[in-house]
Structure 1
Amino acid sequence: MRIRAATSTLLLIDIQTRLFPALEDGDALLVHSHWLLQIAQRLQVPSLLTEQYSKGLGPTLPILREAHAAERIVEKLHFSAVTEGELLQRSGGEREQFVVCGAEAHVCVLQTVLDLLALGRRVFVVVEAVASRQASDKALALTRMQQAGAVLVSREMVAFEWLDKAGDERFREISQGFLR
């Protein structure tokens, strides 16, 4: 099954200011998540972001947060973004496919992915755009998500599947700006 721009939503989970410094390879998480967000915006793929207890973990990093209106940000206390029900009620939350980035892979990302799968959604986890404090936790989380039915992908796989074809203005813009 391919990722389709018309049926997917980019979900950015808990990439927050106070958690970020503790993440293993957090810089890669931010770079790859921002890259995907920019492509999603250009291709009109909706994006949602979540914040886990922002009083404690701070807001989402500004470069990601500034691209989202307040109605596209889901504050949560449960680790799963699905548990409290708000995520799926937001514009974009009704879509069949979710492309997932975020932190921590073995906690909020994992529980959200498992709950989305249980609801029959198709979930694609961008391997280079998820992180945990420990590399071993990320590896175990990726294995568990894949065993549960999530598809592990790279950011370029997502971009090319969203594009679907070459030879038009959208492809030229993405190719020149992002695929060098």
Structure 2
Amino acid sequence: MLIEIARSQLLIIDVQERLAAAMHDKDAMVQNCGRLLEAARLAGVPVTISEQYPQGLGETVAPLQEKAEGVVRLAKAEFSCIRNEPIRAALRAHSRPHLILCGIEAHVCVLQTAIEAKADGYDVFVAIDATASRRPESREIAIHRLTAAGVQVVTTEMVVFEWIGSAASPHFKALSKLIR
């Protein structure tokens, strides 16, 4: 199944100051989350951002906040975003079944959200190069669990080019620049 732009929404999970600082390969993860955020905004794809216990873990990192003007950021205590009713309601309100996930941590909040979103009827895609864990082996185990659960593991570039669909797309020029 290809990711369809008109059926897509993006959920950025817990890319917060104190969490991001502890992640393996955090710079690449933040950069790719930013690319997805920019691509979504340019293409009119709805975006939701979750923040795990922000009073203790800080807000979404500055590079993403700068690109997220007007994007809903919702606090949560649950690891799975699907278990948080305001986040779940925000996702449902978009009525878009292709749910692209990225963020922190691959083996905890991203994994639990992906598996529960899949059970909730979403077609779930995890942009793995925009997803991190503190330890690389935790991320690798998460990949295995995600694929076993029927979640599609993709890259940022795959998402963007599937959204574009064709060099004739009105989004081609703006979105392809984000990948270069």
Normalising by structure 1, we get a TM-score of 0.93
Partners of 2:28 and 2:57 in 1: CA distance: 19
Equivalent residue number for residue 17 of structure 1: 17
* Compared CA separation, residues 18 and 73, structure 1 to 2 (3 A): same
SS at match of 1:19: helix
Equivalent residue number for residue 29 of structure 1: 29
* 1:137-161 deviation digits (Å, cap 9, x = unpaired): 0000111011101001111110111
Partners of 1:38 and 1:81 in 2: CA distance: 22
Partners of 2:14 and 2:64 in 1: CA distance: 11
One-letter code aligned to 2:77: L
Equivalent residue number for residue 156 of structure 2: 155
* Compared CA separation, residues 130 and 107, structure 1 to 2 (3 A): same
Q: Please state how far the C-alpha of 1:168 moved relative to its aligned partner.
A: 4.1
* Compared CA separation, residues 129 and 2, structure 1 to 2 (3 A): same
Equivalent residue number for residue 50 of structure 1: 50
One-letter code aligned to 1:147: A
* Compared CA separation, residues 93 and 112, structure 1 to 2 (3 A): farther
Normalising by structure 2, we get a TM-score of 0.93
Partners of 1:174 and 1:44 in 2: CA distance: 12
One-letter code aligned to 2:166: K
Equivalent residue number for residue 117 of structure 2: 116
One-letter code aligned to 2:123: R
Partners of 1:138 and 1:76 in 2: CA distance: 22
* Compared CA separation, residues 3 and 59, structure 1 to 2 (3 A): same
* Compared CA separation, residues 167 and 14, structure 1 to 2 (3 A): same
Q: Which runs of 5+ in 2 are unaligned?
A: none
Partners of 1:168 and 1:27 in 2: CA distance: 30
User: Pairwise CA RMSD of aligned residues?
Assistant: 1.5
One-letter code aligned to 1:140: I
Q: Please state how far the C-alpha of 1:63 moved relative to its aligned partner.
A: 2.1
Q: Going by fraction, where is helix more abundant, 1 or 2?
A: 2
Report the number of matched residues. 178
Question: Is the 1:48–1:68 Cα contact (8 Å) retained in structure 2?
Answer: no
Deviation >4 Å, runs of 4+: none
Corresponding position: 1:173 with 2:178 = no
